Each structure stands twice: as C-alpha cells, then as structure tokens.
Amino acid sequence: MESIQYTVFLLGAIFCAYRAIVAKRILSATIYLACISALVSATLYLLGAAQVAVMELSVGAGLVTVLLVYAVSVVGDDAMDPASVIPKPLAFGVVGLVAVLLGWMAFPAVRITAATGSFDLASSLWQNRVLDVWIQIALIFSGVMGVLGLLSEKVPGAKEEVEQ
Amino acid sequence: MTFTPLNIVLFGIIALLGVGFYGLLITRNLIKIVMVLQVLIKSVILALVLAGKLSGNLGLGQSTAATVIVADTIVAVVGLALAVQVRRRLGTLDVPQISSMRG
Amino acid sequence: MAGIIVALVIGLPWLGAIVVWLARNKHPRLQHILAVLFSLLTAAASIALFMFASSEPVIQIPFGKAFGALTFVPDGLAVLLTAIAAVIGSLAVLFSVDYMHGEEQLGRYYFLVLFFIGAMIGLVLSGNLLFTFFFWEITALCSYGLISFYNDDPKAVAGGIKALIITQVGGVGLLVGTLIVFANLGSFQIADLLGKAATLPAAALSLIAFSFLIAAAAKSAQFPFHTWLPDAMEAPTPISALIHAATMVNAGIYLLARFYPAFKSVPGWAMSVLLVGLISALIAAVSALIATDLKRALAYSTVSQLGYMVYAIGAGGVFASQFHLLSHAVFKALLFLAAGSVIHSVGTRDMRRMGGLGRQMPFVRNVFIIGALALAGVPILNGFWSKELILEIGLEHSPLWAYGVMLFGAGLTAFYTFRMVWLVFFGKERDRLNVHRAGSAMRVALGVLAAGTFVTWLFFGGLNNLLVTTLPFHELEHESLLELVTTILSAPATWLALLVVGLGAGISWVRARGYRLFGGDWLNPLVESSFGFDSLNRFIVLGTYKAAEQFSRTQTGELNWNILGIISALLVVLVVLWLGA
C-alpha cells in the first residue's frame, strides 16, 4: 500500500518537473512547480515529517508561486524557446550517467536503524539546533533587506522622466 | 538487497535530481533557472528527511530540512529580484545573450 | 643550533628579497647595500653550516598525512651546494652593484635574485621529495623572471619562455617520479626512497629513475634539452654567472647524485646517464668552438662541463662529480663575471668585434686567463684536479671508447678556451670600441673567485670526509688530499690528458695567429641549429602554445557550459568513488 502511494506521488513529481522545464510559458511552469510542491509535501508527510510537509506546502506552493507570478508580471512573459546551448543528447547522457551511478551506489544504504533522537521538530529545532534557527532568522532579514534594496532602485531613464 | 518502499523514495529523489540537472543544462531563461533550482532543492529536502528517517533521528532531519527550505526561499527571492533588475537594465533574460554582452 | 642556521640560510635571502623590494626603486643605493648585506649574511651562515652537517633532519615541520613532514637535512651534499649557492650568490650580487648601476627596476631584480638563492638552498637542503619539487619550480620561475628581465627585448622574452617551458617539461618528470614514489612507499621522504629502493617493484623503480633523469637533463641543459641555455644568455651577466653556471643548472647534477644509490641497479640507467653526459659534453664543446658570442661560448662550455659531471655520475664517481661541480662553479662564475666586465665596458657580446682588449683591461684579462686555465685543466688550478679525477674514474669504470671521447673533449675544451682568450684580449683591435675599466665591486668579486680557483681543491680531504660521514647510502670511498695528489700525478692517464690539453692549446695558438675564426662552412649551420635539436625544442615550445590556446576555448563564460563542467566533475567524482569501493 505504502509503495503504491510513494510511487504515485514521486512519479507525479517527476512528470511535473519535466513539464515545468520544457514549458514554453513561465506561468505554466509556475503551475507545474506548485504541483511538484504539493506532491513532495505529501511524500514528506508519508515519511513521517509532518511539520516539514506543511512548511514545504506553504512555502513551495504558496510563497514561491506568488513570487514567480509577481516577477513575471514585472518582466513580461516572453514566450521564447530557442534551441538550447548544449546539445540535448549530451545533457541527457551526462545526467543519466550521474543518476545511474548515484542510484547504484546509494541503493545498499537504504536500511532502517533504531531510533535515536527525538521525533518532534519543535524540540529538535529549539534545543539541539538553536544556532541554526538564529542563523535562519538572520538570513531572512538579510534576504528581505537585499530584495528591498534591489527592487527599489529606479531605472535611470525613469527617474529623469519623473522629474521632467 | 531488500526492496523497501523507502527505496522508491530514493529513486524518486535521484530522478528529481537528474531532471533538475538536465533542466539546468537546457534552460536559457533566467527565471526558469531559478525555478529549476527550486526543483533541485525539493529533491534535497526529500533526501534530508529520508536520511533522518533511516538513521532514526527524524527530528534532526526535519530541522535541517526546515533550514534548507528557508535558505532556498531566500535564494529564490534574491534570484528573482536580480532577474528583474537584469531585465530592466539589459533588456533580455536570455542567459547566453547576457554572457556575451560587453561593457 | 643547526636548525637555526638552516632556517637562517633559507630565510635570510627571502627576507632580504622582500626588504629590498620594499626599499623602493627610488633609493637604488639602499637597495644595492641591502642586497649585498643579506647575501653576505647568507654566505656566512652557509659556511657556518659546515660545522653542523649531519645526516639527520634538523628541522621537521609536519604538514599532515598527505604531504608528510617538511624536513631539512644538512648532509654533505646539501651543505656543499648550499655554500656554493650562497657564496657565489653573494659575489654575483656584489658584482651586480657595478653591473646594474643606473638600471631601472632594481627592486624586481634583487627580489628575484635573493628569492632564487633562498629557493636553491631550500632545494638542496630539503629532505622531502615534494618540497624539493616545490623549490625546483620556484627556481625555474626566478630563472624565467631573470632571463626576461629586460622585458622590452623580444629576444630576452623568447629566451626566458623557452627556458621556462623546457625546464618545466623536466619538472613534470620530477613530479611523476615523486608521485610514483609516494604511491609505492607511502612517503615523500628522500631517506625512505634511498633506504627502501630495493623493495620497489622493478618497473616502478625504472620509471622513477628515468623520470628523474629527464628532469635532471632538462634542468642542467643536457642532451637532448640543451638548447635553452645558450638562448638564456640574454639575462644580465651576473645572472648568467649565478644561475646558469653555478647554481640552478647544478640542481640536475644534485638530483642525479642524490639518488644514485637508489637507481644504480636499474638496468640501463647508469649507461643512459653516462651517454647523456658524453653526448652533451661533445656537442657542446664543438658548438663552443665556432660560437661568436662570448656568452654563448661560455654557455656551451657550461653544458660541456656539466656533461663531464653527468658522465662521472654515470660511471659511479659521485664524489668526483661533486668535486668538479665545486671547481666548475668557481671558475665558470669567474669566467662569466669577467666576460660581464668586458661586455659591460665595450657594449657588445660579439667576439669578432673585440680584440686586443688585454692592453686596456689588464686586471680582467688576468683573471679571465686564470679562469680559462682552470677550465682547460692546467695543473695547480682546481679544474685540473677535478677533471683528472673524473677522467680517471671514467677510465676505470666506463667503456674505453667513452673515456676516449671524454679525453678528446678535454682537448676541445682547451682549444675553444684559448680561442676565446685570444679573440677577446690579444691580437689586433678589430673594431673601435670604447673601453672603461672595471669598477671596484666587480674587481673584488673577480679577485675572490680567481683566488678561489687556486685554493678550492685543497678542501678535497675535508669534503671527502664530510660526504663520507653524512651520506650513509652512498658508500663513498675515503680518500685524503695526499692520496688524491699522488694518484693523479702518478697516473699515466693524467699525463695523457695533459698532452691532449697541450695539443689543444697549441693548435688554438697556431690557428689564432693565422686565422681569426675556426673556419668550416659545413659546421656552422649544423651548430646554429644545435645539431637538429633546436627543432625539437621549437616543437615543444610551439606545441605548448597551441595547446594553451586550445584549452582557453573551454573558458566559454556561458552558464550552461559551466554547469556541464560542474556536472561532469560530479560524474568523475562518482566514478572514482565507485571504482574505489
């Protein structure tokens, strides 16, 4: 039963990922990205990480989607899809080799060992990895500052127009 | 070698990773690149949680995954802001065109 | 105590290099004084090191498991070469005070010279093969920087690049050998290689032996890598004296001498060494016969004498080669510096335009003649004793035809040496040249070296003792000065050699009165192209340029290609891991 659920979710995720990459319009790709988030979130829940699943869903399917839509609205959705720089067979080959090797080597590592740490995310975050949390907070602040600084720059031409 | 459901998750992770790498190699659009990075990060999150589950320390796995989610969101935000600026200044989002610009 | 002196003898020149560079080109006098001061201090420290020579490492700086420890072992071989580098280095720096008077960019010049001296000393003192390689590369870098010092002159730049590329090809040999040693023994220490050489698989040992031979031949300008040294004569003359006669080119000889006990059992190695030395000695001597550029003739002479040293090692006479190295360093530096005085005062290097300068530069003429006598192997001077020792060992341990060729080479040496002396200092003035006398700093340096040619052979006993006691792997024979003197004076080979030398000198004298140059239209083009080997070297240089251009195409600057590169690297890592498991 579990296997089927995993298979469905992950196959769906892979399919959506592929569609997102080859999509011609960015908005379509955004929708597919949101679907990936949902499926990955479901997988995470199945694995037992409920809190992270919720985070992933809200951030991936929510925040990132909104950001992308905003960016596209500012930039304009040029439907361009010229040929890629690297020949597709070469890319496919290299990536395929990497994937096969990784899979081959990682396969034996999938063994469940006895539980050692706590299951609860909250206690783990705030007791064991307090430093992590503070760094994340700092990271969020700096990211917001940087984005504000980046986005608030006026384009030189626009400023002159305003003054005239 | 026993084949547990968790092996399926492993293959799924590697497949997502592979699709992500392929996308990075193929894409020419700056915003698309930011999106492909998101796909890659999702596979990483899955991998971290899986590792946590396998070693029994799910709390640690979850907290690391949470950190990665926060970091990757910041990356997406800053990357998109940069893309917007690039579009305004250089007029194009095509990566090969941007690379070959002079001055 | 020994550790402190070793640290001084490497650290002082490097400190001096930085200090002189910091003194700024606006104060040239300060730079001259500082450079001379630091080099003299280094020379003093290097002589003090003789008292503390030992075969045990005196400094050990651990660098983790990957690199082993950086050890410095002041054994006899190292201490001898250290003293040569430091003392002749200080004399060359002293000479530079006059030679480089009024030149620009003295900071760069003295920095490179002092940096080089420190690196050379580090090279011979190092007990860790990997660090020997590092110092080796530093000396190559300084040599390139100094050959191309007059970087407005395209010939100088071309000469510098040629020297760099050819010595780097040799450096690859050294690195490959070092890595094979590490792969088999798990250690970079030289003492480990010397002690456990017999435990290495035969194929690995052969590969190491021949890689080191290639590195040594390239660095010491031996056949077939001999063409870079004549072109390196574009460097300022004190540099030619220091780097290309007395120190850097000796690094190859040092390498062969140091590792002789490990490689002597490799089939074909000793014979190859012997042949390389023999061929170099012969063709360089012939080339020197018809050279018209004074410094080029001396460069060919250097290659030839280095060939003698290599030949000696091939025949098993490690100590003889080091003894000749000492003599050669002294008299060749003397010859180069004297030639430098001449060139500096008349402004040309072409011997066809010189002549009769002896009357106007008596001091330089006298010291040049002393150096020439030492080079030719005239008795009493140091060259005689060391060359006879080499010939004697050659007679005992090498095939008779090889001995015959080297004997003939000694005659050629005398021939071209006296030709040089005659062309420059005697006869009629062939051109109107403005001559000025050598400055006082030049004279001091020249005088010390000339005195040295009379004296250095007297240290034979002490040196022999030093090397025998501090080189446990080399199995050298104990010999005192008295034994040396009696052996050489009583050997019939010596008298034969003297006869040949006399013949060479005589022919030179006779021809000089009749002809001005050694005629031979068939010989000229042959030597111009270095017996066909210049094309080999040109091929190497051009090949490197083309390969570099091709590689620059991989730097596309495009994101997708860069990512492909990253993923390919990941693939390589995965493959390595997969195979390793």
HEC readout, C279-329: HHHHHHHHHHHHCCEHHHHHHHHHHHHHHHHHHHHHCCCHHHHHHHHHHHH
Token pair for C55: 């075969």
Q: What integer pLDDT is reported at residue C440 of this predicted model?
A: 82
| Residues of chain C numbered 533-562 and touching chain B (CB < 8 Å) | 557-560
Contact C91, C445 (CB under 8 A): yes
Domain that holds residue C552: 529-581
**pLDDT at residue C310, rounded to an integer:** 93
Whether the upstream peptide bond of residue C238 has omega within 30° of 0, thus cis, is no
Both C483 and C554 in a single domain? no
Segments of chain A with pLDDT less than 70? 77-82, 112-128, 153-164
- The predicted structure's pLDDT at residue B102: 65
pLDDT of residue A44: 92
Q: What tokens were used for C562?
A: 């860069």
Q: What number is the average pLDDT over the span C385-408?
A: 86
Maximal C-alpha separation, chain A: 72
Residue A46 falls inside a structural domain: yes
DSSP letter, residue C126: B
**Does C273 score more than 70 pLDDT?**
yes
pLDDT at A114: 57
Residues C353, C442 within the same domain? yes
C129 and C19 housed in the same domain: yes
Q: Which site among A18, A54, A64, A152 would you substitute to test the B interface, given the most B Cβ atoms closer than 10 Å to its Cβ? A: A64
Q: Which residues in chain B touch residue C557, judged by CB atoms under 8 angstroms apart?
A: 99-100
Residue-wise pLDDT for C459-493, tens only, equals 787 788 888 777 877 777 777 777 777 777 777 77
d(CA C140, CA C86): 18
CB contact under 8 A, A94 and C578: no
Q: Are residues C353 and C460 in the same domain?
A: yes
B contact test, residue of C560, C563, C571, C574 with most B CBs within 10 A? C560
Low-confidence ranges of chain B (pLDDT < 70): 1-2, 102-103
If you ran DSSP here, which 8-state letter would residue C266 be given? S
Measured between CB atoms, which of C558, C571, C577 is closest to A94?
C571
Across the interface, whether the CB atoms of C575 and A101 are under 8 A apart is answered yes
What's chain B's Rg over C-alpha atoms? 17
Same structural domain, A21 and A73? yes
CB pair distance less than 8 Å for C571 and A105: no
Q: Which of C554, C558, C567 to mutate to test the interface with A (most CBs of A within 10 A)?
A: C567
Identify the bridge partners of residue C189 per DSSP, sorted by sequence position. Answer: C128
Q: What residues of A are in contact with residue C561 (Cβ under 8 Å)?
A: 85-86
Asked if A101 and C568 come within 8 Å (Cβ–Cβ), the reply is no
Chain A: list its partners (3+ Cβ pairs within 8 Å): B, C
* Total number of domains in chain C: 2
Is A139 close to B70, i.e. CB distance below 8 A? Answer: yes
Q: Which amino acid is at C117?
A: I
> What CATH architecture applies to the domain B5-92?
Orthogonal Bundle (1.10)
Please write the tens of the pLDDT for every residue from C422-467: 888 887 777 766 777 777 888 888 888 888 888 888 778 778 888 8
Task: Tell me whether residue A136 is in a domain.
Answer: yes
C571:A98 CB<8 A:
yes
- Same domain assignment for residues C322 and C199: yes
**What percent of chain A is helix, strand and coil (3-state, nearest 5)?**
80, 0, 20
**Is residue A18, in this structure, part of any structural domain at all?**
yes
Q: Does A86 map to a domain?
A: no
**Residue B83 at interface with chain C, using a CB cutoff of 8 Å:** no
Asked if the structure places residue A110 within a domain, the reply is: no
Residue of A nearest to C573 (CA): A98
How confident is the model at residue A112, as a pLDDT?
A: 64
**C557 vs chain B: nearest CA distance in angstroms?**
6
**Cα dihedral value B16, B18, B19, B25, nearest 10:** 140
Q: Does C18 touch chain B (CB under 8 A)?
A: no
Cα–Cα separations (whole angstroms), residue C385 to C274, C277, C416: 20, 19, 20
Kindly list the residues from chain A whose CB atom is less than 8 angstroms away from the CB atom of residue C560: 84-86
Contacts of B100 in chain C (CB under 8 A): 557-558
Contact assignment for C560 to B25 by CB distance below 8 Å: yes
In degrees, rounded to 5, the angle at the alpha carbon of residue B11 between the alpha carbons of residues A18 and A35 is 40
CA distance B11 to B9: 5
Query: Nearest-CA distance from A113 to chain C in Å?
Result: 23
C516 band by pLDDT with thresholds 50, 70 and 90: very low
Shared domain check, A130 and A72:
no
Distances (CA, A) of C287 to B103, C415, C534: 54, 12, 13
Rounded to two decimals, the pTM is 0.70
Residues B39/B22, Cβ–Cβ less than 8 Å? no
Q: Taking CB atoms and an 8 Å limit, are A102 and C574 in contact across chains?
A: yes
Please report where in the chains the tokens 């590329």 appear, as a residue: C165
**Residue A90 in domain:** no
Question: Measured between beta carbons, which residues in chain C are less than 8 angstroms from residue B96?
Answer: 558-560
pLDDT digits (tens, 9 = 90+) for C103-132: 888 888 999 999 999 999 999 999 889 899
| Interface size, chain A vs chain B, as Cβ–Cβ contacts under 8 Å | 247
Chain B residues closer than 8 Å to C560 by CB: 24-28, 95-96
pLDDT (mean) for C45-62: 83
Distance from CA of C571 to the nearest CA of B (A): 12
**pLDDT tens across C361-381, in order?**
888 888 899 999 899 888 878
- CB count within 10 Å of CB C312 equals 34
Q: Does B99 touch chain C (CB under 8 A)?
A: yes
How close, in Å, is residue A110 to chain C by CA atoms? Answer: 17
The answer to whether B101 faces chain C, any CB pair under 8 Å, is: no
For position B19, what pLDDT does the model report? 93
Q: Are C574 and A98 within 8 A, CB to CB? A: yes
Same domain, A61 and A2: yes
**C523 lies in the same domain as C534:** no
Check: CB of residue C387 under 8 Å from CB of residue C308. yes
Distance CA A111, CA B62 (A): 19
State how far the Cα of B26 lies from the Cα of A83, in Å rounded to an integer.
9
Q: What is the residue-averaged pLDDT of chain C?
A: 84
Other chains touching B, judged by 3 or more CB pairs under 8 Å? A, C
Distance from CA of A86 to the nearest CA of C (A): 7
The DSSP call for residue A58 is: I
A106 within some domain: no
Count Cβ atoms below 10 Å from residue A120 Cβ, excluding itself. Answer: 14
Reported as half-sphere exposure (CB side, CA atoms, 13 A), residue C357 has a value of 36
Most C CBs within 10 Å, among A94, A100, A107, to test the C interface: A94
Q: State which of A78, A96, A129 marks the end of a domain.
A: A78
Q: Is the residue at A115 inside a domain?
A: no
CB contact under 8 A, A105 and C568: no
Q: How would you class C54 by CB atoms within 10 Å of its CB: exposed for 0-12, middle for 13-18, buried for 19 or more?
A: middle
| Burial bucket for residue C383 (CB in 10 Å: 0-12, 13-18, 19+) | buried
- The whole-angstrom separation of Cα C299 and Cα C147 is 14
Question: Among candidates C310, C306, C305, which has minimal Cα distance to C393?
Answer: C310
Residue C337's CB: how many other CB atoms inside 10 A? 33
Residues C567, B21: C-beta atoms closer than 8 Å: yes
Which pLDDT value is given to residue C523?
A: 60
**Among residues C528, C544, C571, which one ends one of the domains?**
C528
C556 to chain A: closest CA residue? A85
- Considering A33-47, C10-24, C192-206, the range whose residues carry the highest mean pLDDT is A33-47
Using the Cβ of B2 and the Cβ atoms of chain C, whether some distance falls under 8 Å is answered with no
Give yes or no for a contact between C339 and C351, defined as CB atoms under 8 angstroms apart.
no
Same structural domain, C352 and C302: yes
CB-neighbour burial class of residue C103 (10 A; exposed 0-12, middle 13-18, buried 19+): middle
Q: Let me know whether C567 and C438 are in one domain.
A: no
Q: Considering A21, A56, A78, which residue would you say is the last residue of a domain?
A: A78
What range defines the domain where residue A132 resides? 120-152
List C128's β-bridge partners, or say none.
Answer: C189
> For the segment C296-322, what is each residue's pLDDT rounded down to a tens digit?
899 999 999 999 999 999 988 888 899
Collect contacts of B85-88 with beta carbons under 8 A, ≥24 apart: B85/A150, B85/A151, B85/A153, B86/B30, B87/A74, B87/A75, B87/A76, B87/B30, B88/A155
Contact flag C567-A95 (C-beta cutoff 8 Å): yes
The domain total for chain A is 2
C-alpha pair distances (Å), C291 with each of C227, C233, C236, C368, C562: 14, 13, 19, 18, 53
| Cross-strand partners of C71 | C60
Relative to beta strand C59-62, strand C69-72 is: antiparallel
* A9 and A69 both lie in a single domain: yes
Q: How many CB atoms lie within 10 A of CB A10?
A: 23
Q: Which of C427, C415, C306 is CA-nearest to residue C365?
A: C427
Between CA C364 and CA C370 the distance in angstroms is: 10
Q: Chain B contact for C564, CB < 8 A? A: yes
Q: C59 has which bridge partners?
A: C72
Domain boundary among C487, C505, C528: C528
